[in-house]
């Protein structure tokens, strides 16, 4: 069993982004970048399936600038076996990411692709589903539990009403939700080992994929800021405010 | 130039998100047909037919559509899209599940979670947990859209659209429904409730969550919500998580109890009309956006609030 794990380099989740004053985008200069948290969960799941003897190889893929290599290295330090870096400085929309991953999937022939449900920068929540459609594979999105057999995978999904379990024929795509696992921290020896693991590099052009964006970004702006109100002294005062000022209680 | 709206429902009742998505669809300035796909869902088709602005209901009914599996839904919608320019659906977990499949099959870049329609091909959408808003123009010939329904009012129910039964292709049968474990609650639905009482990590246990949050919600006729930390710790199930990667809410009143106010949580509550925060840490970020702040121990303040509300 071989598992492919796409990982994206994004602004660290602890950082509050700032919009550039000219409205051209978000300020990425000198901010801390990390692996998308849902992708860490994906790597953890793949690596632990390997540790359980249910998979032989875990391959991490990232599409992005030179520095996306660091994100691949983080995945390798967590236990992935090798990396693939599709290098580009352009913005790559989920549809193009899915097309690149489709080509890589056809080359690598994994049995499962585990990826994040959502990148916390674009908040698109699309790429896994798109890739599943392009490959004509089944999908188990927003996974909080997976059970892998030889032919099938059972995925328990976090849905609006609670949990749903589906059974997918392999090969299949799983996208991770927060409760799937708690990603490990890479140990120092594993970080050192990761430096020697191989990363293949290529470009979208070499893969013959047109990544021109389909969405024109006309403007990026700050949302209206919500300003805090007053500190209250007592519960009685709160009820008074909610009744007479906010008009919510009657 | 017609829009296809895919209804959200559970085969019995039309979800209120559908009527809200209808107002986003109407802003696209094209006639709107509604697809009601499921199993034994004729009642839902009748409910949807009343939505103001609906031209026609397309009713797809088959056992393999009962659970809205993405593979089956996408196949039906993609085939229909030959006659439509836009597919639109609420950004529920169902919509998020099948819609990108449709987009990829049509070779279209999806517009996720739109918050405003500026022109039939121009939309506003939040990125970075709502800390930035993007205005984007779609250059694709067709459009595939999911809608953040808290940003759109529900249309009225003055319509009387005809219902047409759809002939269906063979199921794909690559995935199978196994089981569902749905939360049972007589509380209002979180996504559309007018009051939400939310608890965080500070509650400390499932027992405390039930003891402090539930009665308050009961007294206020409110829905219950939670932070990720409360869900991760097992105080309450995943479907109660509010935030960037959970549910987005926009109630008249949101009461955050023992929640610090991380970026990811605030992303889900920014559109609440009034926010009340109860937290013992004066510096908690939640106080920067709360309209009314109570600094103190929740285990004292919540029972006081409960008693005061009951004695009114
Ligand atoms: C990829 C990703 C996605 C995420 N998505 C979400 C999301 O959708 N929703 C979400 O909520 N979070 C999300 N998070 C998590 C988020 O970053 C925070 O960790 C989480 O919101 C914290 O929950 P909390 O406020 O309950 O806990 P804490 O941050 O631990 O806050 C507890 C608060 O309770 C207060 N407190 C303690 N004891 C008492 C007492 N006795 N009385 C009163 N106050 C007390 C403390 O002062 C503190 O402010 C996400 C994180 C990541 C990385
Ligand atoms: N540039 C990228 N490189 C590798 N994986 C990506 C990239 N963009 C998106 N993904 C994967 O797709 C998931 C969902 O992203 P999105 O659809 O953009 O929210 C992410 O969690 C990643 O697993």
Q: How many CB atoms lie within 10 A of CB A192?
A: 11
pLDDT at position B48 over 90: yes
E strands, chain A, are: 2-6, 9-11, 33-35, 57-64, 82-87, 112-116, 139-148, 152-159, 162-169, 172-176, 199-202, 215-221, 230-232
* Inter-chain residue contact B122 with A218, CB threshold 8 Å: yes
Burial B142-180 (b: 16+ CB within 10 A, else e): bbbbbbbbbbbebbeeebebeeeebebeebeebbbbeee
* Overall residue count recorded for chain B in this entry: 312
Q: pLDDT tens across B238-280, in order?
A: 999 999 999 999 999 999 999 999 999 999 999 999 999 999 9
Profile chain A (250 residues) by mean pLDDT over runs of 10 residues.
Answer: 98 94 89 97 98 97 98 98 98 97 98 98 97 98 95 97 97 98 97 97 97 97 90 96 92
What are the structure tokens assigned to B46, written together?
A: 């009748």
Q: How many CB atoms lie within 10 A of CB A224?
A: 8
Distance CA B250, CA B273 (A): 7
Distance CA A125, CA B112 (A): 8
What are the structure tokens assigned to B248, written together?
A: 């987005």
Answer with the residue of higher pLDDT: A227 or B35. Answer: B35
* Inter-chain residue contact A159 with B93, CB threshold 8 Å: yes
Ligand 2 in contact with A116 (CB < 6 A)?
Answer: yes
Ligand 2 in contact with A126 (CB < 6 A)?
Answer: yes
- Nearest protein Cα to ligand 1, atom 38: B202
Average pLDDT, chain B: 97
Nearest by Cα to A49 from A179, A138, A153, A170: A153
Ligand 2 in contact with A88 (CB < 6 A)?
Answer: no
Contact predicate A232/B292, CB 8 Å:
yes
Among A98, A144, A241, the residue with its CB nearest the CB of B292 is A241
Contacting residues for A5 by C-beta, under 8 A, at least 6 apart: A39, A42, A43, A46, A58, A59, A60, A61, A75, A80, A113, A114, A115
* Inter-chain residue contact A166 with B178, CB threshold 8 Å: yes
Say yes or no: B96 contacts chain A, CB-CB below 8 A.
yes
CA distance, residue B155 to nearest chain A CA (Å): 22
Roughly what angle, to the nearest 10 degrees, separates helices A37-51 and A68-78?
A: 30
- Residue A224 Cα to ligand 1 midpoint, Å, equals 23
Ligand 1 — pocket residues by CB below 6 A? A 13, 37, 120; B 200-202, 227-230, 241-246, 258-260, 262, 264-265, 268, 279-281, 284, 297-299
pLDDT at A166: 98
What are the structure tokens assigned to A208, written together?
A: 């013959």
Global ipTM: 0.97
Distance CA B223, CA A86 (A): 46
Strand order in the sheet with A215-221: A215-221, B132-138, B122-127, B116-119
Ligand 2 in contact with A69 (CB < 6 A)?
Answer: no
Distance CA B275, CA A232 (A): 13
pLDDT at A117: 98
């Amino acid at each position: 069993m071989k598992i492919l794990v796409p990982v994206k380099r994004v602004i660290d989740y602890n950082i509050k982004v700032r919009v550039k004053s000219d409205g051209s985008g978000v300020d990425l200069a000198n901010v801390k970048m990390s692996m998308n948290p849902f992708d860490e969960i994906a790597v953890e799941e793949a690596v632990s399936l390997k540790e359980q003897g249910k998979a032989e190889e875990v391959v991490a893929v990232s599409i992005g600038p030179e520095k996306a290599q660091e994100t691949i290295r983080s995945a390798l330090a967590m236990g992935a076996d090798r990396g693939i870096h599709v290098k580009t400085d352009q913005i790559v929309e989920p549809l193009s990411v899915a097309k690149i991953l489709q080509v890589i999937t056809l080359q690598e022939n994994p049995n499962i692709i585990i990826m994040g449900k959502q990148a916390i920068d674009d908040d698109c929540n699309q790429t896994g589903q798109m890739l599943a459609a392009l490959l004509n594979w089944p999908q188990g999105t927003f996974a909080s539990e997976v059970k892998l057999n030889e032919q099938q995978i059972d995925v328990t999904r976090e849905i609006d009403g609670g949990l749903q379990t589906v059974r997918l024929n392999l090969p299949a795509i799983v996208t991770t939700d927060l409760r799937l696992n708690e990603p490990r921290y890479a140990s120092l020896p594993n970080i050192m080992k990761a430096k020697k693991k191989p990363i293949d590099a290529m470009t979208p052009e070499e893969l013959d994929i047109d990544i021109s964006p389909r969405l024109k970004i006309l403007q990026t702006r700050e949302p209206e800021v919500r300003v805090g109100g007053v500190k209250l002294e007592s519960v009685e005062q709160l009820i008074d405010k909610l009744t007479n000022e906010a008009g919510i209680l009657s | 130039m017609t829009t296809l709206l895919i209804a959200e429902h559970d085969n019995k009742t039309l979800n209120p998100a559908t009527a809200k998505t209808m107002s986003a669809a109407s802003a696209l300035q094209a006639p709107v047909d509604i697809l009601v796909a499921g199993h034994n869902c004729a009642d839902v088709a009748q409910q949807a037919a009343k939505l103001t602005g609906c031209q026609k209901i397309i009713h797809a009914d088959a056992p393999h559509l009962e659970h809205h599996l993405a593979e089956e839904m996408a196949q039906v919608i993609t085939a229909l899209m030959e006659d439509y320019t836009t597919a639109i659906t609420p950004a529920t977990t169902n919509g998020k599940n099948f819609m990108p499949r449709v987009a990829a099959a049509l070779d279209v870049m999806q517009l996720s979670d739109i918050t405003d329609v500026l022109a039939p091909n121009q939309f506003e959408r939040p990125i970075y947990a709502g800390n930035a808003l993007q205005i984007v123009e779609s250059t694709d010939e067709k459009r595939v859209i999911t809608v953040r329904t808290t940003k759109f009012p529900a249309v009225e129910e003055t319509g009387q659209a005809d219902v047409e039964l759809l002939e269906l292709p063979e199921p794909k049968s690559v995935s199978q429904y196994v089981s569902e474990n749905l939360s049972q609650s007589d509380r209002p639905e979180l996504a559309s409730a007018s009051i939400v009482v939310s608890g965080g990590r500070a509650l400390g246990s499932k027992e405390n969550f039930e003891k402090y949050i539930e009665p308050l919600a009961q007294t206020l006729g409110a829905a219950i919500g939670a932070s990720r930390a409360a869900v991760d710790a097992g105080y309450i199930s995943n479907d109660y998580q509010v935030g960037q990667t959970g549910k987005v809410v926009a109630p008249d009143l949101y009461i955050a109890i023992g929640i610090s106010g991380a970026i990811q949580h605030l992303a889900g509550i920014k559109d609440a009309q009034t926010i009340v925060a109860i937290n013992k840490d004066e510096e908690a970020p939640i106080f920067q956006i709360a309209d009314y702040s109570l600094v103190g121990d929740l285990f004292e303040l919540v029972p006081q609030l409960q008693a005061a509300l009951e004695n009114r």
